[in-house]
Amino acid sequence: MAALAGKRCLITGASGGLGEELARKFGGFGCRLILTGRTEKKLRAVAERLESSARVENCVAADFRVKADLEGLIESVVTTIGGLDVLINNAGVFPVGSLNTLSPAELDGCLEVNLRSAILLCRAFAPAMAEAGWGRIVNIASSSAYAGFANTAAYCASKHGLLGFSRALDDELRGRGVRVIAVSPGSIKTPMGRKVRGQTYETFMDPREVADVIGDVASLDGSIVISEVRLGRAVMG
């Protein structure tokens, strides 16, 4: 865990259930946090709840469907803490509907939030990590990165893309001290999880347990590298 102490860490989607638990976990490691999400009020509430256990450097509201917001976030990170050592791409949307009922805006928004933002944030911060010889990039994919389900075509496509991107970037950066970790959990007890159809919400994973696993994998700093993690539910239903 000492490997993460004092590291500069950006968590996207930080106002949601898993995002807050990731902030709690990495803040507990001693990371200097920047939290981002679409709503500043929710981000500030998370920061207040973490006040005694985490060092939150800044909260930046950003909608990743808006180019200027993403650019503003990158500029804010550089201005506030000079760059990143840890990047956690957790932001995500989950449009539900058959392909012909989703609007072009919904399709574009899903790809922009779930995939394009992660690619552009990696592009912005990974080179400096590689130059420094140390970095962690955690991309939160999904069990939908390995399968396809009716009425979630856009979401599945975005998560398949994120997994493929993670594999390629890990291969590109592995020899330069930067580890890219793709974590693919199944359904989680979050507001987004309540949109899942045909499954029993009570059987979903606890977001704190998911964050614990992610933190433990990201903190490895020896000869063992875990670049891909799939998390399933103990009880299916």
Per-residue pLDDT tens for 49-94? 998 888 999 999 999 999 999 999 999 999 999 999 999 999 999 9
Query: Would you please indicate which residues are annotated as catalytic (active-site) residues?
Result: 155
Q: Provide the residue range defining the domain that includes 114.
A: 2-231
Range 157-167 average pLDDT: 98
**HSE of 13, CA atoms in CB hemisphere, 13 A:** 25
Residue 56 lies in a domain: yes
The four Cα atoms 141, 32, 19, 39 give a dihedral, to 10 degrees, of -120
Band of the pLDDT at 10, cuts 50, 70, 90?
very high
Q: How confident is the model at residue 1 (pLDDT cuts 50, 70, 90)?
A: low
Q: Whose structure tokens read 């614990």?
A: 212
CATH number at residue 147: 3.40.50.720
Query: What is the total count of domains within the chain?
Result: 1
At 184-197, the pLDDT tens digits run 999 899 877 787 77
237 in a domain, yes or no?
Answer: no
Alpha helices in the chain (DSSP H): 17-28, 40-49, 67-81, 104-111, 117-132, 153-173, 207-218
pTM: 0.95
Higher-confidence residue: 21 or 236? 21
pLDDT at 143 over 90: yes
Q: Is residue 236 part of a domain?
A: no
- Does any domain span residue 109? yes
